[in-house]
Amino acid sequence: MVTDEILTADEASRYYKRVPTHKGVEVVIRAIRPDDKYEILDIFPTLSQRTLYMRFFRVIEAPSLESLSRYTNVDFATTLAFVVTKGPNQNIVAAGRLIRATEHSKVAELSCLVVDHYQHQGVGNALVADLFQAGKAWGIEQVIALVHSENHPMLRLLKNQGYPCEMLFDEGEFTVTLDISQPPSDENRASYRTTMAAMHQAV
Ligand SMILES: CC(C)(COP(=O)(O)OP(=O)(O)OC[C@H]1O[C@@H](n2cnc3c(N)ncnc32)[C@H](O)[C@@H]1OP(=O)(O)O)[C@@H](O)C(=O)NCCC(=O)NCCS
């Protein structure tokens, strides 16, 4: 997809793409569907406390089917919500979304989660890269992510996207702002690496 393409809400609701992760795992990235709530309900008890804490910043109870209905039944004008599926049964292994305040807003907040058993295989990277690429066509120029300071995989993942990036640290979490209107570059990846190294030395 090139940057001057436009992704309408209707097209976003039918999004489907087969991609290899950078670690060679074949996955499908597609729009979330209302009936995904049943599979997500089953997945929830398998998630580790750490994974849930890194995603929600607190200990949370298993959600009800009703609250999952709200999660899977989205308005694609304001929420670009994808799941990643894998294997012969195309089981859900990750979910992520960009949420914007109005359908004309150019700023969106990112959240994502990869099921524990499938972490570290490039799934999160593939999902976020695809959300950013589709997000540009959907009208987003700036992405904000709230990341726990100990969430090194997520900080690395965001860094690896190669966009100009600002990080603000406050009370144990980073607010990471990425300018996805610019083309990604190795220079940005490298300068981010320097910033991270400096931060680790300073702590
Ligand atoms: C953060 C998360 C989405 C990353 O997904 P993932 O599929 O495991 O990540 P990837 O395999 O694509 O790896 C992304 C980068 O992080 C690095 N990474 C992955 N796991 C790591 C770990 N445990 N420690 C350090 N680095 C790690 C990878 O090396 C990779 O960098 P590379 O491309 O230079 O190799 C996933 O761990 C997760 O869902 N965590 C819990 C929920 C969460 O934190 N959500 C984000 C909230 S904003």
pLDDT tens track for 75-122? 999 999 999 999 999 999 999 999 999 999 999 999 999 999 999 999
pTM (2 decimals)? 0.92
Confidence of residue 190 (pLDDT cuts 50, 70, 90): confident
Angstrom distance (rounded) from CA 140 to CA 100: 9
Q: Contact, 100 vs 81, CB < 8 A?
A: no
- In 3-state terms, what secondary structure has residue 146? strand
Tokens 């406050």 locate to 170
Helix (H) / strand (E) element for 110: namely strand 107-114
Q: What is the pLDDT of residue 202?
A: 54
The pLDDT, as a whole number, for residue 191 is 75
Examine the pLDDT at 147 and tell me if it is beyond 60.
Answer: yes
Cβ of residue 161 lying under 6 Å from some atom of ligand 1: no
Q: How far away, in angstroms, is 158 Cα from ligand 1 center?
A: 9
User: Ligand 1 centre and the CA of 10: distance in Å?
Assistant: 30
Instruction: Please give the Cα distance from 9 to 138 (Å, whole number).
Output: 8
The amino acid at 132: F
Q: Is the pLDDT of residue 199 over 90?
A: no
Q: Is the minimum distance from the CB of 113 to ligand 1 under 6 angstroms?
A: yes
Q: 144 falls in which pLDDT band (50, 70, 90)?
A: very high
- The chain-wide mean pLDDT, for the chain, equals 93
Instruction: Tell whether ligand 1 has an atom less than 6 A from the beta carbon of residue 50.
Output: no
Measured from the Cα of 121, ligand 1's closest atom is 11
> Given the structure tokens 């904000």, which residue do they identify?
144
* CATH 3.40.630.30 intervals, the chain: 1-140
Task: Grade residue 2 by pLDDT with cuts at 50, 70 and 90.
Answer: very low
In whole angstroms, what is the distance from residue 181 CA to residue 186 CA?
Answer: 16
Phi, psi values for residue 26, rounded to 5°: -80, 125
pLDDT of residue 1: 45
- For the chain, give the percent of residues with pLDDT over 70: 92
Distance CA 3, CA 182 (A): 10
Mutate to test the pocket of ligand 1, among 59, 99, 131, 154 (most ligand atoms within 8 A of CB): 154
- CATH number for the segment(s) 1-140: 3.40.630.30
User: What six digits make up the tokens of 118?
Assistant: 């499938």
